[in-house]
Amino acid sequence: MVPIRRYSTWSTAAVDDDHLLDVLHQATDAVVTALSTQDDWGLSGRRTGQYHSDLSADDAAVAILVDSGLRVLSEESGLTGGDGPVAVLDPLDGSTNASRSLPWYATSICVVDEGTPRVSVVHDHASGRRFSAVRGGGAMLDDQSLPHRNPVDLADAIVAVNALPPAHGGWAQFRCMGATALDLCAVADGRFDAYVDYDDDALGPWDYMGALLVCREAGVDVADAFGRELVVIDHSARRSPVAAVGRLLPLLVGLRRTAAAG
């Protein structure tokens, strides 16, 4: 493990990708440790849908990220100050699943530097598996590189969704799993063929940003269904990501827009 170094002045040249990635791994490890002793998985009562586990995970990750000199945009604690790159953090994506012992929840962190995702980590807490990605350097699942995905036809596709599709989309099957970061990573590694968010502006940048880079580095295209920029540092921003390979992406974007218009 590389000791955390704090940078008083951040620049692209000041820190390499390997060190940034190690910081994200350390922050994720801190969440794993915090959740290993979590004894209250119920609602916090502070805001709708927030759990005590969300807060424990947030405290653990933010402490490491801020100590490294990064700014943080967290679902749970907002945006910290400073002038460095921003670590977009979902400390516990799928916390409702976690509260019910459903094994599909994750920690997702992505460093955005100069307006683009630079490094990311998505940790699957139930399986212990960890995705990581470096801009231009590929995506990994644990210590194995993820190969680039090949396109599939819609009729053969198993599609992960967020919220209920209003009608059958022409796919072979669909699943609604409840943790966007893991859903998208499952597209990157081939367990799903695509992902469509059918909720109306429910997903913040922390929900998808870490997996966005994993997908892109595995050859999976990701876009907002309505043409908006996905990489935003704004706690109030909401998007509707769609992910697929090749010709399947515009087909699914079209289905999502039709659903919105219907």
Contact assessment for residue 61 and residue 75, using Cβ atoms and an 8 Å cutoff: no
Please state, in angstroms and rounded to a whole number, the distance separating the CA atoms of residues 215 and 181: 10
- Specify the residue for token string 């920029």: 229
Residue 116, both tokens: 């683009």
- In order along its 262 residues, the chain shows pLDDT tens digits of 445 555 444 554 567 999 999 999 999 999 999 999 999 998 987 888 899 999 999 999 999 999 999 999 999 999 997 777 999 999 999 999 999 999 999 999 999 998 999 999 999 999 999 999 999 999 999 999 999 999 999 999 999 999 999 999 999 999 999 999 999 999 999 999 999 999 987 899 999 999 999 999 999 999 999 999 999 999 999 999 999 999 999 999 999 999 999 7
pTM, two decimal places: 0.94
User: Smallest Cα–Cα separation from 119: which of 12, 246, 256, 249?
Assistant: 12
Please state, in angstroms and rounded to a whole number, the distance separating the CA atoms of residues 197 and 180: 9
Tell me, which fold does domain 12-145 have in CATH? Fructose-1,6-Bisphosphatase; Chain A, domain 1 (3.30.540)
| 12-145 and 154-261, same CATH topology | no
Architecture of domain 154-261: 3-Layer(aba) Sandwich (3.40)
Are β-strands 173-175 and 158-162 bridged in parallel, bridged antiparallel, or unpaired?
parallel
What residues contact residue 57 under an 8 Å CB cut-off, 6+ apart? 31, 34, 35, 76, 91, 92, 107
pLDDT at 44: 87
pLDDT at 201: 79
Task: Indicate the Cα dihedral angle 35, 75, 190, 126, nearest 10°.
Answer: 10
Taken as a whole, the chain contains a residue count of 262
Strands (E), the chain: 71-74, 78-79, 86-93, 106-113, 116-124, 130-134, 138-141, 144-145, 158-162, 173-175, 194-197, 221-224, 241-244
Q: Enter the DSSP assignment of 230.
A: S
Task: Indicate the Cα dihedral angle 28, 34, 40, 44, nearest 10°.
Answer: -60
Question: Can you give the residue ranges of every domain in the chain?
Answer: 12-145, 154-261
What residues contact residue 223 under an 8 Å CB cut-off, 6+ apart? 230, 241, 242, 243, 249, 253
222 three-state secondary structure:
strand
pLDDT in tens, 155-185: 999 999 999 999 999 999 999 999 999 999 9
